[in-house]
Chains A and B, each alone.
Chain A
Amino acid sequence: MRTPILALSLAFASLVTPLAVQPLAAQVVEESLQRDPGPLDFIQGEGYEQWILQSLAGDALVGLSPGGRLVPRLASSWKTQKDGTTTFTLRADARFPDGSQVSAEDVVWTVQELLRNPSASPTKRAILEGAQAGVAQGQPWIRSPKPAGRLLLELARVPIAQKDHPDRGSGPFAFRKEDGAWSFTRRDHFLKPRVDGIRFRLLPDAAGVMAALQKGWLTLGAPSTRRQAEVPASHRLVTQPMHAQLVVWSHLGVGPLQWLERWRKDAFPPQLLGLNAKPSRGLWPETLGLELQSIEAATAPPKGPATYTLLYPAGDESVEKLLLALRERARKNGFELQLTPLEQGLLAARLMKGDFQLACSVVVFEPHPWAVLEYLEPRGPMNVTGWRHPRLADMIRRLQQPGDLAWHDLQQLWAANPAALPLLDFQSVIWVDKRLQVEPSPLGLYLHTPGAAGWRWSR
């Protein structure tokens, strides 16, 4: 019996040994993706991982700097007329992988295809809702019912595809799908990328990412939040704020939110929060440049004892622990929070139906202040309680630029009777190879301009 088992073991060993992988190419950045982004598609692609692929392989008309300001990208300049039409001047040196120049026709085709195709990205369709596009004197123009300030910030999320080729962009890296990997190779591009390439592997498991980081198989990655591991000698710790919050919606009115606003201040032990999160302070994300605002309801918070059922997404151990801490804090005031985990899809369905008392979820906001309108607008994806106000439409019309006084008025309106409250602001914690220079941003490492094109290896 022993001999065959030994023979089998030797057979397995022989399978492994001769196929040992060659050392990684020094100039290629090795990265991981948590979810399968699906095929690269500038029209139908949706989701955070897909945004990363598109930001590497494509260029939007405008970009956002690491600080969130509007910067040129495919368009070297733009001009907005009084009727809301914005005309863009395209760069002459922007080219698709087949060598053809990016033209106004490509811009118009991308916009029209996003509006025409019912399977197109819901986020991009929402950005372009009611928009028209055309060509004037060889340059593209876009007209939208939205204020030009908002539209331009949102257009940074709409990379331009080559006409009739939804999988082809003009970005700083050429894309190639390999078995189990997504590879990008540097191109001759106006952003002048300095790293030779980036290669993503699908690593959904946090422990797998951790092991790969510690073994040096990943140039950068997010370590597991469950383990307080030392940063390997080859890497350094980089933190960056995110436009992400843990938000609680209330179908019981403002009362429970008034209590949650108190509890969030002292419910979460610092050792549980770590570097990844901190208690939220206002009603809307601070990272979007909005001022801090407390709930200003006309009524006093309800008196305990009372029991509330709080639905939350199952599977995130760190969020679960923080909610347990919140439950303990609520008990001190005589309230019982019944925590009910739900699978993401089931939770989303309950939210959409409005079938909940309290429900929480991690929300990643678009990188501009208009993102909060998703809470308020009648068809906003985050308006799950049917929140409405007769003055809302008028106020939204007054929001022309970030920082306008109208933002203050709008937040006052929301503060009187909010339907949701953030509990935690998240921060991204990543380990980066010490030799790689990157620029952290609330947009992450990829989604700003120049994004990965600005990375470089230090000698």
Chain B
Amino acid sequence: MRRGLPGWLVWVLGLALALGLPGATWKGAAPPAFPWQSLLPAAGAVAALAAAAPLLAWLGGPDLARRRPLALLEAPPDLLWAALILALWPAAWGPPGFQGWLLAFLAAALPGEVRWLAQALPPERPFPEAWGKAAVRRARRLVLFRLWRRWLAARLPVWLTATLVLERVLGLPGLGTDWLTRVAVRDRLGLAGWVLVLAGLWALSHARTEDAA
């Protein structure tokens, strides 16, 4: 509990900010209905990212963090990936739906997350490289297994909310659009609900991390 205190303080601060958000609307505006239908796609996207990033980090190892192509893929903002998907999407297919959104989400998020994990891997020279490929793979697997929960706890709130740009450009209202609309209509209770849910997810992952430690 004591180790998580700074984290809890951040969430309490977030809650206070949500409840005390300054500003008003010109005429009273109703808060949006929560997009329940977006929960499953969002969970699917997070699951895909949570599986693909460690897998690629495991395959690439710590050297991956220094690869220039990965840095190049990491640099463009979400807006560019969304615009690229939109531009390249064949007109005859109709507007890109969840598939296009997932593609843009992974293109935008995966390089950064792979680098984050690869950088956290310990050096492999001279050991365990000298012990052979099997030892290297095992060492990476053990490290990533320990790292995975902590990484998930740190990044989950970001993934769940940072899809806003993709949603706006691709026209798929989801979780990102929801919290932004609540900010616009000054739905302070709704925003507080958002903070509590994210804090709950963080606490869940954090508790499990501490258990594992």
- A390 contacts the other chain (CB 8 A): no
**Partner of B170 from A1, A8, A208 at Cβ < 8 Å:** A208
**Which of the four size classes fits the interface of chain B?**
35 or more
B73 to chain A, nearest CB (A): 11
Stretch binding the partner chain, chosen from A339-347, A409-417, A434-442: A339-347
Q: Is the CB of B92 within 8 A of A32?
A: no
A49 to chain B, nearest CB (A): 10
- B177 contacts the other chain (CB 8 A): yes
A190→B32 CA distance, assembly (Å): 32
A41→B30 CA distance, assembly (Å): 10
A24→B100 CA distance, assembly (Å): 17
- A201 contacts the other chain (CB 8 A): yes
A1→B114 CA distance, assembly (Å): 13
Chain B residues in 8 Å Cβ range of A19: 97, 99
Which residues in window 79-128 of B have CB below 8 A to A?
A: 83, 86-87, 89-95, 97, 99-100, 102-103, 106
A173 to chain B, nearest CB (A): 20
Chain A 180-222: CB-based contact to B (< 8 A → 1; otherwise 0)? 1000000000000000000001111101100110011100000
Chain A interface SS verdict (over half): loop
B108 to chain A, nearest CB (A): 13
Which residues in window 1-26 of A have CB below 8 A to B?
A: 1, 4-5, 8, 12, 15-16, 19-24
A107 to chain B, nearest CB (A): 23
B155 to chain A, nearest CB (A): 19
A76→B56 CA distance, assembly (Å): 69
Stretch binding the partner chain, chosen from B6-14, B18-26, B134-142, B144-152: B18-26
Chain A 22-61: CB-based contact to B (< 8 A → 1; otherwise 0)? 1110000000100110110100111100000000000000
Which residues in window 131-185 of B have CB below 8 A to A?
A: 168-174, 177, 181, 183-184
Chain A residues in 8 Å Cβ range of B171: 32, 180, 201-203, 205, 208, 212
A344→B27 CA distance, assembly (Å): 12
Known: A15-B99, A36-B173, A201-B95. A208 touches B86 (CB 8 A): yes
- A98 contacts the other chain (CB 8 A): no
A120 to B, closest residue via Cβ: B28
Known: A180-B173, A211-B86. A349 touches B22 (CB 8 A): yes
Chain A residues in 8 Å Cβ range of B173: 36, 180, 202
Chain A 99-133: CB-based contact to B (< 8 A → 1; otherwise 0)? 00000000000000000000100110000000000
- A155 contacts the other chain (CB 8 A): no
A19→B93 CA distance, assembly (Å): 9
Q: Is the CB of A122 within 8 A of B27?
A: yes
**Partner of B92 from A23, A41, A352 at Cβ < 8 Å:** A23
A24→B27 CA distance, assembly (Å): 37
Q: Is the CB of B97 within 8 A of A346?
A: no
Q: Is the CB of A21 within 8 A of B168?
A: no
- A348 contacts the other chain (CB 8 A): yes
Q: Is the CB of B26 within 8 A of A21?
A: no
> For chains A and B in complex, what number of residue pairs have CB atoms within 8 angstroms?
116
**Which of the four size classes fits the interface of chain A?**
35 or more
- B52 contacts the other chain (CB 8 A): yes
Q: Is the CB of A202 within 8 A of B177?
A: yes
Q: Is the CB of B91 within 8 A of A349?
A: no
- B59 contacts the other chain (CB 8 A): yes
Known: A23-B94, A208-B86. A345 touches B32 (CB 8 A): no
Chain A 324-348: CB-based contact to B (< 8 A → 1; otherwise 0)? 0000000000000000000111101
A204→B82 CA distance, assembly (Å): 14
- A381 contacts the other chain (CB 8 A): yes
Chain B residues in 8 Å Cβ range of A164: none
- A230 contacts the other chain (CB 8 A): no
- A179 contacts the other chain (CB 8 A): yes
- B29 contacts the other chain (CB 8 A): yes
Chain B residues in 8 Å Cβ range of A32: 171
A313→B99 CA distance, assembly (Å): 35
Q: Is the CB of A207 within 8 A of B169?
A: yes
**Partner of A36 from B56, B90, B177 at Cβ < 8 Å:** B177
A207→B171 CA distance, assembly (Å): 11
A215→B172 CA distance, assembly (Å): 17
A22→B89 CA distance, assembly (Å): 14
Q: Is the CB of A16 within 8 A of B100?
A: yes
A399→B32 CA distance, assembly (Å): 38
Q: Which of A4, A44, A45 has the most CB of B within 10 A?
A: A4
- B17 contacts the other chain (CB 8 A): no
Q: Is the CB of B99 within 8 A of A16?
A: yes
Q: Is the CB of B93 within 8 A of A21?
A: yes
Known: A211-B86, A217-B94. A343 touches B56 (CB 8 A): no
Q: Is the CB of A346 within 8 A of B22?
A: yes
B29 to chain A, nearest CB (A): 6
Q: Is the CB of B177 within 8 A of A217?
A: no
Q: Is the CB of B91 within 8 A of A180?
A: no
Known: A16-B99, A16-B103, A205-B168. A348 touches B24 (CB 8 A): yes
Q: Is the CB of B94 within 8 A of A22?
A: yes
- B55 contacts the other chain (CB 8 A): yes
List B residues at the A interface (Cβ < 8 Å): 21-33, 37, 52, 55-56, 59-60, 83, 86-87, 89-95, 97, 99-100, 102-103, 106, 168-174, 177, 181, 183-184, 186
Q: Which 5 A-B pairs have the closest CB atoms?
A: A345-B23, A21-B94, A215-B91, A205-B168, A203-B171
Pick 20 A–B contacts, CB within 8 A, sort by A.
Answer: A4-B56, A8-B52, A12-B106, A20-B94, A23-B94, A36-B177, A47-B29, A122-B27, A122-B28, A180-B174, A201-B171, A204-B168, A208-B169, A211-B83, A211-B87, A217-B94, A217-B95, A349-B24, A381-B26, A381-B27
